[in-house]
Homo-oligomer: A and B are copies of this chain.
Amino acid sequence: MPRDIRKTATSSERETLDEAYNDTAVQILDVAQALVQSRGYNGFSYRDIAERVGIQTATIHYYFTSKGDLAAALVARYRKRLGQRRDALARAAESPRHRLELYSSLFRALLIDNDQLCLGAMLTAEAASLPSEVVRETTRFFDDNVSWLADVIEDGRRSGDFVFADSPFMQARILFAALEGAMLMARAAKDVGMFSSIAQAMISQLQGISDA
């Protein structure tokens, strides 16, 4: 049983993110996440993970008692990690618009790297066959993102960069919905440009209709 898992030696970003996991556990999480994002929760087995990591399926159970546990750990980590990236990118960008562009490029990178979708979108689609614990964590993930976007958008309005009707929160929901939907469409069309152009147009629209 995984009583009190301690880390051995991980580096840089991982250091702070996966502090509670040792190297094997991290590898399991990495592989599992890639599998969920490309095939969905019900689209892979413990065997798939074991083969890729080079361990036996029983070893996975040592770290994550059930598949639901594994999924829950996955979303928790994803949420945390994306939060850190949002913070980093907020510091790096000089304008609200630039912040939104960098943010959308996080999602674009998923598509480009491995034809993957957002973990949250994937698990929400399969919500009906998932442990409620996973579903709850997924909902929090959406809330996180919309809140952050609403803040950025409100900043943009204050600074005069953005002009729009409705509330910043509503605009945030709209933008996030469009990004998630655009990822689906880009995967269906096998064309990352589909995502990029939609993302760009959405951000442009925030600045008012006059400019293209």
A residues at B contact (CB < 8 Å): 38-40, 42-44, 115, 117, 120-122, 124-129, 135, 138-139, 142, 163-166, 170, 173-174, 176-182, 184-185, 187-190, 194, 197-198, 201-202, 204-205, 208-209, 211-212
| Contact status of A166 and B201, CB under 8 A, knowing A181-B176, A181-B179 | yes
> Given A40-B129, A212-B166, does the pair A202, B174 have CB atoms closer than 8 Å?
yes
Q: Is the CB of B204 within 8 A of A165?
A: yes
Given known contacts A188-B142, A201-B170, A121 and B125 CB-to-CB distance under 8 angstroms: yes
Are the C-beta atoms of A184 and B125 separated by less than 8 Å? yes
Which residues of B have CB within 8 Å of A42? Answer: 39-40, 42-43
- State the CA gap A189–B42 with chains docked (Å): 22
Using known A-B contacts A42-B42, A142-B188, A166-B201, determine if residue A125 contacts B125 with beta carbons closer than 8 Å.
Answer: yes
Q: Which residues of B contact A208 (CB under 8 A)?
A: 209
A/B interface sample: 10 pairs, CB < 8 A: A125-B184, A127-B188, A142-B188, A173-B185, A173-B194, A173-B198, A176-B185, A178-B178, A180-B181, A205-B205
Residues of B within 8 A of A142 (CB): 185, 188-189
A44 to B197 CA separation, bound complex (whole angstroms): 35
**B187 near A124 (CB under 8 angstroms)?**
yes
A211 to chain B, nearest CB (A): 7
Complexed CA–CA distance, A174 and B124 (Å): 21
- For A170, list chain B residues within 8 Å (CB): 197-198, 201
Say yes or no: A209 contacts B164, CB within 8 Å: yes
Q: Give the residues in chain B near A115, CB-CB below 8 Å.
A: 128
CB distance from A163 to the nearest CB of B (A): 7
Taking CB atoms, residues of chain B closer than 8 Å to A194 are 173
Which residues of B lie under 8 Å from residue A165 when comparing CB positions? 204-205, 209, 211-212
